[in-house]
A and B are shown apart, each in its own frame.
Chain A
Amino acid sequence: MKKIEAIIKPFRLDAVKDALAEIGVAGMTVSEVKGFGRQKGHTEVYRGSEYQVDFLPKVKLDIAIDDERAAEVVAAITKEAHTGKLGDGKIFVSDLINVIRIRTGEEGPDAL
């Protein structure tokens, strides 16, 4: 099993979610996060005072998936979250040791 964490631009979330639903991803967790990469931050000006805002709002998706479908999921996210500009985000893929469905107690791939 793989855990896929994708940091994307907030306004691409709906497109990414639809694309993942289309290829049969059954669930995901979404959080509003802040961070920076090469895009860096931006400045904001209030009554003439400039503030450097380093952390930009992004959306993070957490998806647990079978090993064989991981590449497909990564490809779907990459395609839909892509704008070609700095700040499109990153996808982290890691090995997932176990998954437990709380309602039934099922473990491993059965719990996905």
Chain B
Amino acid sequence: METHATRSKTIPTTRFKLALKSLQVFLPVFLMFAKATSAHAADATLDSGDTAWMLISTALVLFMTIPGLALFYGGLVRTKNVLSVLMQCLALTALMSVLWLVFGYSAAFDSTGMEVGKVGLHSFIGGCSKAFLLGITGDTLTGNIPEVLFFAFQMTFAIITPALIVGAFAERMKFSAMLWFSSLWLILVYLPICHMVWGGDGAFFADKGVLDFAGGIVVHITAGIAALVACIVIGPREGYQTTAMIPHNLTMTLTGTGMLWVGWFGFNGGSALAANGDAAMAITVTHLSASAAGLTWMGIEWIIHQKPSALGLATGAVAGLAAVTPASGFIGPIGGLCIGIVSGAVCFLASTSLKRKFGYDDSLDVFGVHGVGGFVGTLLVAVFAAESFGGNQGSLNIGSQFGTQLCAAVVTAVYTGLVSYILLKGIDKTIGLRVTAQDENQGLDLALHEETGYRY
């Protein structure tokens, strides 16, 4: 069971210490945590309630990628590329799952040789004792859920993260290059960052006290930064800013938005790894942040362009969902509302003014929405996790926590940016990153897959 040093285990321990300090004031809170800790101490018993919730959460998060994200992105591209985007999401789902079994899970969550405060190789990457899930059966537990369920739940995160990046280089990257980039990126960026944040005691960021409940750093900052680098390295689409590149089916995009929104309940609620109050609070703040961010984006558009747009409302909601992710298990409803409002406004600026100013073609605004949203949430968790702001992190010091969060976010961004750049350049030099101009004009559906999305 020592290998399961995951969030479920580390977080209550931290809280336990914090609660001790303010025992008199927060006696009821303390009792709650004491109960949670003793439940862990009892160990090795499967909780059917927790297991049921995690089974559902796993399905919900997979549903976010296929078809949620696929539809969200598919609707935003032009008719001639719709299938290529859907296929990229579907192919990544399959490929990342296989990699996750082969060594991904092990590299992210094997905690062999790790102990608190000790910095070594395994502070940055896990071991390989769990490759192919060797030795793990349906009876092996992580906390009080089957380990194979924890494996499957985390697998859905490893699927959606590279799939998010697809939006940045949509409509122009070679399918083979996309597969190579995503695979190498998973190995060199996602796995170490995931391990550093969620690897448990002895993991680099975890030891520093970095708070990332469901993946603001692990998922959204990594995907967002990789997206920014990818769209700059591959260059803008043919005719970018001179020809109209209008989303071909916003009905699809809005359908996908709904699926993402609902699926996010599994993403954030499931990250509690238990069917408890933390999970309930997580889905509630998640929903509130999405609502507040959607309304904020819509409101700003209403003022600037005189019309509220469906795409604006949907994009704002997704920004709110991304931003609340790192904070969702630590904050209260007001925190959710505030993170929503801030991310709605900041992501709007990033996806419109900032993008226009620098002229990069982040085609479906992965950086503007996920990267920036992830940053906003990762920083604001330091504020709203504090008890004085409605959070559950006891006497957390906002100033120092903010510094910790900022450091982790910047280190992750720099590392992700650097590795992504090298990978993209390497692929460009070898098999080539981009389709020919002729193929791009024809559309990737026909040029790369010899199919079309629509026949009418």
A binds B: yes
Binding site for B on A (CB under 8 A): 44-49, 51-53
Whether the Cβ atoms of A51 and B244 lie closer than 8 Å is: yes
Contact bitstring B58-86, A, C-beta under 8 A = 1, else 0: 00000000000000000000000000000
Residues from chain A with Cβ under 8 Å of B455 in the complex? none
Q: Is the interface of B mostly helix, strand, loop or mixed?
A: helix
Known A-B contacts: A46-B246, A47-B351. Give 18 more (CB < 8 A): A44-B246, A45-B301, A45-B305, A45-B307, A46-B247, A46-B309, A46-B311, A47-B311, A47-B352, A48-B348, A48-B351, A48-B352, A48-B353, A49-B352, A49-B356, A51-B246, A52-B244, A53-B244
B312 contacts chain A at the CB level, 8 A cutoff: yes
- Residue among A46, A48, A52 making CB contact with B356, cutoff 8 Å: A48
Q: How far is the CA of A46 from the CA of B352 in the complex (A)?
A: 10
Binding site for A on B (CB under 8 A): 244, 246-247, 301, 304-305, 307, 309, 311-312, 315, 348, 351-353, 356, 365
**If A52-B244, A53-B244 touch, does A47 touch B356 (CB 8 Å cutoff)?**
no
Residues from chain B with Cβ under 8 Å of A48 in the complex? 301, 304-305, 348, 351-353, 356
- Residue from the set A48, A52, A53 with the largest chain B CB neighbour count within 10 Å: A48
Residues from chain B with Cβ under 8 Å of A49 in the complex? 352, 356
Least Cβ–Cβ distance between A52 and chain B, in angstroms: 7
Whether the Cβ atoms of B244 and A45 lie closer than 8 Å is: no
Residues from chain A with Cβ under 8 Å of B353 in the complex? 48
Report the number of A-B residue pairs with Cβ-Cβ less than 8 Å: 30
Residues from chain B with Cβ under 8 Å of A53 in the complex? 244, 246
Whether the Cβ atoms of B315 and A47 lie closer than 8 Å is: yes
Q: How far is the CA of A47 from the CA of B311 in the complex (A)?
A: 7
List the 6 shortest-distance A-B pairs measured between CB atoms, nearest first.
Answer: A48-B352, A51-B244, A45-B305, A51-B246, A47-B351, A46-B311
Q: Is the interface of A mostly helix, strand, loop or mixed?
A: strand
Residues from chain A with Cβ under 8 Å of B246 in the complex? 44, 46, 51, 53
CB nearest to A50 among chain B residues: B305
Q: How far is the CA of A47 from the CA of B312 in the complex (A)?
A: 6
List 24 interface pairs A-B (beta carbons < 8 Å), by A numbering. A44-B246, A45-B307, A45-B309, A46-B246, A46-B247, A46-B309, A46-B311, A47-B312, A47-B315, A47-B351, A47-B352, A48-B301, A48-B304, A48-B305, A48-B348, A48-B351, A48-B352, A48-B353, A48-B356, A49-B356, A51-B244, A51-B246, A52-B244, A53-B246
Residues from chain B with Cβ under 8 Å of A45 in the complex? 301, 305, 307, 309
Q: How far is the CA of A51 from the CA of B245 in the complex (A)?
A: 8
CB nearest to A45 among chain B residues: B305
Q: How far is the CA of A45 from the CA of B309 in the complex (A)?
A: 8
Residues from chain B with Cβ under 8 Å of A47 in the complex? 311-312, 315, 351-352, 365
Q: How far is the CA of A52 from the CA of B304 in the complex (A)?
A: 18
Residues from chain A with Cβ under 8 Å of B305 in the complex? 45, 48
CB nearest to A44 among chain B residues: B246
Residues from chain A with Cβ under 8 Å of B351 in the complex? 47-48
Residues from chain B with Cβ under 8 Å of A46 in the complex? 246-247, 309, 311
Least Cβ–Cβ distance between A48 and chain B, in angstroms: 3
Q: How far is the CA of A45 from the CA of B300 in the complex (A)?
A: 13
Q: How far is the CA of A51 from the CA of B305 in the complex (A)?
A: 13
Least Cβ–Cβ distance between B455 and chain A, in angstroms: 17
Q: How far is the CA of A52 from the CA of B246 in the complex (A)?
A: 10
